[in-house]
A and B are shown apart, each in its own frame.
Chain A
Amino acid sequence: MTAVPAPRIEPGKTRHARITGGILIGLAILTAVVFAPDGTGIATFRLSRPTDALVLPNLVVPAVPFIYAAAAVLAFLGARQFLRGGTRWTSLSMGIGLAVAVAAFLVWATTGKAFSLTGMLQATMVRAVPIALGGLAGVLSERVAVVNIAIEGMLLAGAFTGALVGSLLGGMGGLAAAVAIGGLFGFILAALVVTYRMDQIIAGVVINLLVLGLTSYVSSQVFQEYRYLNNAPVFRAVKVPLLGDIPILGPMFFQQNIFVYGALIMVGVATYYLFHTRMGLRARAVGEHPRAADTLGINVYRTRYINVTLAGMVAGFGGAWFTLGSVGRFDEGMTGGRGYIGLAAMIFGRWHPVGALAAALVFGFADSLQQKLALLQTPIPSEFLAMAPYVATIIVVAGLVGRARPPAADGKPYVKE
């Protein structure tokens, strides 16, 4: 028993910092050992296309110095976390560290070749769309405390309906129908969990199975025979005047199709709705403390119905991306787990629309990375590259990149007395 009280330690944060430090040091070793290139390779990154209004010169990186510098930065960050522990910069260090490691990886993979960075970023945004919209759908329903595992099914339903109705009525009709069908499944989810008090996770899983069954059935029963029903027009990219000419950012944000613009607008509108309107305040109250909302005359059930239906509409729009936004044709199970990755984006984004978008960009990056790297002929098997988004998702839900508090009533049914 010492006379002087020991300094107050914070074990939770220290542990977190230690883990982070360990991961960063591991990345440093990986970078220095595995990515170390032989000789004097040079990696060339293209920043613009020759047709652009404003052509930037290529970014030329000497591989060896860059990779060793990256390893050094990682080692420094890791050692700092490991030794000092519990500083305020844990999450930031992790973020910087991951970015540096990815950059080193890219340089390694590109050594001796050329790689279009702009194309990569453009693809990142495109691939982020369904994830961002899935995440946004998650935010809208979890803010009213309904866990929405059904996003995957809603995306799939949107993709299917977009293709079917799009083939018959054209792109806009298909899009409207996709939004409507998403809303319908949102409404069904709300009915199951709010009115019939089904377990929220089971309800979500069941909707996913149902949508998978329905869409697979129709595509094998009907589409096989009537191919014109599965041949929808695709929305082309529309360049925004002036903004689209900004180097790097222009192609990423302003030379895209309706889905990218739609996603960006929806994120803005949802943020305004949740945090600056009466409806949003009430929705959040229902998610945090439904009984309190009830005693104040707010209709908890109706609020949940409305928000979960809205979430379904957002997911339906996101689902249409798979067909109307890329290939125009529906394939069985083509969403490939994007809805679940969207949920991870929601968690990573701390239940905030803008956060979900930012997180979706990270996943979109991982997704487009694996696609582009396949072109670079790296020695990594393509199957492992294809796992990247999934592994990233696990890392995110495991909270290695910081954690936030979900709405207090999340997942709990509300039984009015």
Chain B
Amino acid sequence: MTDTSMNDLMKAKMIGRSEIEDLIIVPLFAIVAALILGALTMLATNVDLATIGLSYVALLKGSVGSLSAISETLTAAAPLILAGLGLALGFRAGLFNIGAEGQVLMGGMAAVITGFTFTDLPAAILMPMSLLAGALVGALYASIAGWLRVATGAHEVISTIMLNLIAYRLLDYMLRLPFIQKEGRADPISKSVPDAAELPRLLAFIDPNLRVHAGIFLVLVAVAVVYWLLFRSKLGFEFRASGENPQAARYAGMRSGLIIVLAMASAGALAGLAGANQVLGVLGRATPGFSAGIGFDAIAVALLGRSHPIGVLFAGLLFGALEAGGRQMQVDAGVSIDLIGIIQALIIVFIAAPLLVRAVFPWGFRKGSRQTEGGQ
């Protein structure tokens, strides 16, 4: 054989039509279908057509309609992307980690405690240290589920859900501890972190009410790091191999137990970072349930982003926009923000079942363009 044929072998496949369908058309249809079903839900609950129209206009306006809307979208997207990256990493390694919520709580709590404990440190040290504490504690909390899976075979879906529930109780308990609870308060609320621990607001020079903060740089770095980790590093190769086929990974000499714990820990670190990002960038302190379902929305973000870092970035932005727009919707049209939860869930239904999208929108796809590959 000649060198040219060698080169042919190494020529990467062009992105084909079926990939475009998968990456763009399916998500697009999924969003449209979810919005339509969301409108139907509103109709069913006696919201009139004009209000429905108003609410979708508000959704758009509140997400990208102004500088402050964009700032809100980015602020809401940041923790979703961080936690979503963690979940995506876990999915790639074959771990269905539902525990991001608990990891967000524990990580956020660690960041807050670090922040208000070392008030004397300068910002250059205290802020990174608080973030790091969040990541570390998130990683440790997630490792529990990883370790349980390795040592006892306990499925991570159930153990992480239980760890979430435990985290809620643990948070309630901690917020009443004397050294954490805010002085002079009877309700469970933590002390505030000092300014030196906070992620600085980026656009405060334009308007102090613009909340977008330095966390978005953290997000961009995390996207790049996760991309490198998954697709360029040895560890990432091991994660992906174990996720696709654990038996083959073991055969190839990869240490499955260690990989599971490491993957869970990395996922937990990112979720913990998401929690730290919330308390240091937005809230300034911890309150009961401060995670506000970020950990669960992040599951949707990771699925929508096809467990790919770039995909997660865009999915997170979309969900952040829905979140920010949803608040505007509640104000302008009086439609409960819980509608956003329905739309988000519907989007994933359609994303995770491409066959369903094809069945609903048959004209959007070339006929028989792709047989779904056989089961794993």
Contacts and interface: CB of A to CB of B under 8 A. Distances in A.
**Chain A–chain B contact at Cβ < 8 A:** yes
Interface of A: 149, 192, 195-199, 201-203, 205-206, 209-210, 212-214, 216-218, 220-222, 336-337, 340, 343-344, 381, 383-384, 386-387, 390-391, 393-394, 397-400, 403, 412-413, 415
14 contacts: A198-B355, A209-B296, A209-B341, A209-B344, A210-B349, A216-B338, A337-B165, A383-B170, A394-B148, A397-B155, A397-B158, A398-B151, A399-B152, A415-B375
Given A202-B303, A202-B348, A387-B169, A340 B161 contact: yes
Interface string B139-178: 0000000001001111101110111111001101100000
B269 to A, nearest CB: 22
B4 interface: no
Contacts of B344: 209, 213
Interface in B339-376: 339-346, 348-349, 352-353, 355-356, 359, 372, 374-375
Interface string B15-52: 00000000000000000000000000100011100000
A397 B348 CA distance: 28
A358 to B, nearest CB: 19
Contact of B169 (A197, A340, A383): A383
A311 B217 CA distance: 47
Contacts of B159: 394, 397-398
A386 B169 contact: yes
Contacts of B359: 196
B259 interface: no
> Could you tell me the dominant secondary structure of chain B's interface residues?
helix
B157 A390 contact: no
Contacts of A337: 161-162, 164-165
Contacts of B47: 221
Contacts of A205: 98, 299
A36 B348 CA distance: 54
B304 to A, nearest CB: 11
A205 to B, nearest CB: 6
Interface residues of B, number: 50
Contacts, number: 131
Given A202-B303, A209-B348, A383 B172 contact: yes
A199 B336 contact: no
B96 to A, nearest CB: 5
Contacts of A415: 374-375
B137 interface: no
A399 B349 contact: no
B165 A336 contact: yes
A412 B375 CA distance: 8
Given A213-B342, A390-B162, A391-B166, 16 more contacts: A201-B96, A203-B353, A205-B98, A206-B345, A213-B340, A217-B341, A221-B336, A221-B339, A337-B162, A384-B173, A394-B148, A394-B154, A394-B159, A397-B154, A398-B154, A415-B375
Among B148, B336, B353, which residue has the most Cβ atoms of chain A within 10 A? Answer: B353
Nearest to B98: A205
A399 B20 CA distance: 45
Given A212-B341, A387-B166, A217 B353 contact: no
B94 to A, nearest CB: 11
A269 to B, nearest CB: 27
Among B45, B161, B172, B336, which residue has the most Cβ atoms of chain A within 10 A? Answer: B161
B372 A197 contact: yes
Given A149-B157, A393-B162, A412-B375, A199 B352 contact: yes
B335 interface: yes
A340 to B, nearest CB: 5
B300 interface: yes
Contact of A217 (B148, B165, B338, B349): B338
Interface in B280-296: 296
A213 B154 contact: no
Contacts of B96: 201
A187 to B, nearest CB: 14
Contacts of B46: 222
A221 B42 CA distance: 9
Contacts of A209: 296, 299-300, 341, 344-345, 348
Given A198-B353, A202-B303, A343-B158, A398 B152 contact: yes
Contacts of A213: 338-345
Interface string B178-216: 000000000000000000000000000000000000000
A120 B355 CA distance: 50
Contacts of B162: 337, 340, 390-391, 393-394
Given A213-B342, A217-B338, A340-B158, A192 B353 contact: yes
Interface string B83-109: 000000000000010100000000000
A343 B98 CA distance: 15
A390 B345 CA distance: 26
Contacts of A195: 355
Contacts of A196: 353, 355-356, 359
Contact of B45 (A217, A343, A397, A400): A217
B55 to A, nearest CB: 11
A390 B353 CA distance: 32
Among B165, B296, B303, which residue has the most Cβ atoms of chain A within 10 A? Answer: B165
A375 B72 CA distance: 45
B261 to A, nearest CB: 15
Given A196-B353, A383-B172, A397-B158, A217 B303 contact: no
B341 to A, nearest CB: 3
Contacts of B163: 394
Contacts of B375: 197, 412-413, 415
A217 B339 contact: yes
A203 B170 contact: no
A202 B41 CA distance: 23
A202 B45 contact: no
Contacts of B152: 398-400
Given A221-B335, A386-B169, A400-B152, A344 B158 contact: yes
A369 to B, nearest CB: 15
B154 A218 contact: no
A124 to B, nearest CB: 20
Nearest to B46: A222
Contacts of B154: 394, 397-399
A390 B303 CA distance: 27
A152 to B, nearest CB: 8
A151 B344 CA distance: 20
Interface in B289-314: 296, 299-300, 303
A25 B157 CA distance: 30
Contact of B342 (A214, A381, A386): A214
A400 B153 CA distance: 10
A195 B360 CA distance: 13
A341 to B, nearest CB: 8
Nearest to A218: B45
A222 B335 CA distance: 10
